[in-house]
Amino acid sequence: MVKRVKLSFDRYIKRDCKGRRSGRPRFKGVGRYRTFTYPQVKGDCVVGNRIKLPKIGTIKFVKHRAIPDSAKIKTVSITRKADGYYLTLSLDVVFESIPTLIEKVGAIDLGLIDFLVDSDGESITTPQVLSSI
């Protein structure tokens, strides 16, 4: 929440492209925000279908997708909607690159004299559609 207030005051002080200032930020109570974010969490905060958050404690959540073992949790956001609370995890996943084995590469050239010439030198003549009519 402090980050949002700082951002709003920075926008208030900085002028827009025409040199005009925006309106002064209005005070919003804690209950008016629908989302709050933990910018940093410990790596072992998720165990099974529970997450341990500072100042709140352990929360049970529905885990609809498996979290990869190589993933690091960057941020955790909790959003309040009309039908309940939602948890959003931002992950940093390192994917292993799979080497591709390219044995043979082919090329195709389309032309006017020969309809098609491939990289092996085989050519297909232009189909004479109008001469068959």
CB of 45 closer than 8 Å to CB of 53: yes
Q: Please list the pLDDT of the chain residue by residue as tens digits (133 residues).
A: 577 778 777 877 777 667 777 777 777 777 777 888 888 888 788 888 899 988 889 989 998 888 888 888 898 998 989 999 999 999 898 878 888 888 888 888 888 888 888 888 888 888 777 776 6
| Rounded-to-integer distance, Cα 110 and Cα 48, Å | 58
State pTM to two decimals.
0.56
| Rounded-to-integer distance, Cα 32 and Cα 13, Å | 24
Q: Positive or negative, the Cα torsion across 79, 80, 81, 85?
A: positive
Task: Choose among 72, 103, 106, 101: nearest CA to 89.
Answer: 72
Q: Could you tell me the residue ranges of all domains in the chain?
A: 33-95
